[in-house]
Amino acid sequence: MKDISIYFSPVDIELNAEDQTIGSTINSYKNDYFPEIEKGGIALFYVPEYRGSKSHSAMKRPENFRSFLYELCLGWEWKFPIYDLGNILPGKELTDTYYAVGQVVSELVKKNVIPIVIGGSQDLTMSLYKGYESLEQMVNICSIDNKLNLGNPDAELNSEGYLSHLLLQRPCYLFNHANIGLQTLFAKKAELDLFEKLYFDVCRLGEFNADFKKAEPHLRNSDILSIDIESIRASELRTYDYISPNGFYADEICQIAKYAGISDKLTSVGIFNYYPEEQPGSTSSLLAQIIWYMMDGVAQRKGDFPVGSKKDYTKFIVHIDDFKEEIIFYKSNKSERWWMEVSYPGQTGSKFERHHMVPCDKDDYEKAMKNEIPDLWWKTYQKLV
């Protein structure tokens, strides 16, 4: 593993952590000691980089989430090491920060350590993606956001316009992008049309509120999760930095974090647009709880796809009239979650190998049983071919 300590400054916090709290067990970068990172586990770090957003003043405020996080109790089933690598200080240029974050993410993912990156503006999602380029791995990104953040590729990369820049990367390793929490009043028709042409997924806030199950397969299908704190309603955060009257409730964003953590496919997380308060407050407290639920989800992973074997699944084959392909579903005997297999003319070891088994729910199976081809099957097939 490369030396990543060069990118960090130590944690500046002194707490008398009680027994069986996160603070009593977390392995933090303090003084001259940088943690020796073992295989497996979770590593969090903070990136106070806000030059890609409108809130430059947040760079000058001290982060407060650690004082809340360290006081939370350890989960009962947590059997992995937890690291706090400290802070990545902004580089001379914004691109320097992107590079540093990408290098750290890449090294951690190689060690099977899940990075939880606390930011900073949401354009740092690009840095998470960059961490997978050296691995030459096709990835799925899921954003928890009230906007699509496509932006103009001719404009500078910024918090509300990073996705178009990501799509123009060559080679491009993005297989799918899913948005959960979109509020249509923030989405231009051209953006929605492009999402549809790219066969990307959208679960609007109203759909989520009507049935959380609509979001769960998108979370389970993600390699990278990008959470925008601005997608949470302002009444839950209670600071002048957040103004949106609509969005997720605090318990809903924690539920999303929990279900994302349970996914065996998820390998990195970014929680962005965190604007620290002058004094510790509800935003920092909620951020700490989001991290806690994410880690609790990781502790409850079932070893399903892509980790587990198909032997641990019940297979269902559905024949649809006037359609030459069989629709094949798998139900995990461990978690009772559903997957759908999408055939494609690829070879063993193809870069798409991880993407032809698509998380779905029982509704997709029931739709196929009614002689309907699930939309998810079509969209995935189009991307594969």
Element (H, E) at 366: helix 362-369
What are the tokens at 341? Answer: 């297999």
Mark the ranges of the chain whose per-residue pLDDT is less than 50: 348-349
- Determine the 3-state secondary structure of 309 from DSSP: coil
Residue type, 258: K
Other beta carbons within 10 Å of 76: 7
> Is residue 304 situated within a structural domain?
no
Distant-in-sequence, close-in-space partners of 247: CB < 8 Å, separation ≥ 6: 146, 181, 183, 205, 230, 231, 232, 233, 234, 236
226: closest CA among 263, 177, 272?
272
> Is residue 227 situated within a structural domain?
yes
**Looking at residue 116, which CATH number applies to its domain?**
3.40.800.10
Residue 137: DSSP 8-state: -
Q: Are 288 and 300 in contact (CB under 8 A)?
A: no
Total number of domains in the chain: 2
Q: Within 13 Å of residue 14, how many CA atoms lie on the same side as its CB?
A: 1
At which of 239, 268, 299 does a domain end? Answer: 299
Q: What is the pLDDT of residue 353?
A: 66
> Is residue 149 situated within a structural domain?
yes
Q: What is the pLDDT of residue 62?
A: 77
What are the tokens at 303? Answer: 């070893």
Same domain, 63 and 206: yes
Same domain, 159 and 278: yes
> Is residue 305 situated within a structural domain?
no
310: closest CA among 373, 356, 350, 351?
356
Same domain, 95 and 56: yes
> Is residue 18 situated within a structural domain?
yes
Q: How far apart are CA 312 and CA 298, in angstroms?
A: 20
> Is residue 213 situated within a structural domain?
yes
Q: What is the pLDDT of residue 348?
A: 47
At which of 276, 299, 322 does a domain end? Answer: 299
Tell whether pTM > 0.85: yes
Which residues partner with 224 through β-bridges? Answer: 141, 268
Q: What is the pLDDT of residue 350?
A: 57
Same domain, 111 and 168: yes
Same domain, 58 and 148: yes
Same domain, 223 and 272: yes
Same domain, 342 and 194: no
pLDDT tens figures, 219-254: 999 999 999 999 999 999 988 889 999 999 999 999
Q: What is the pLDDT of residue 13?
A: 81
> Is residue 14 situated within a structural domain?
yes
Same domain, 295 and 342: no
Q: How far apart are CA 341 and CA 350, in angstroms?
A: 15
Same domain, 98 and 172: yes
> Is residue 133 situated within a structural domain?
yes
Same domain, 129 and 244: yes
Same domain, 287 and 335: no
Question: Domain span at residue 195?
Answer: 5-299
At which of 299, 332, 356 does a domain end? Answer: 299
Same domain, 197 and 331: no
> What is the DSSP code string of 16-57?
-PPTTBHHHH-EE-BTTB---PPSSSEEEEEE---TTSS-GG
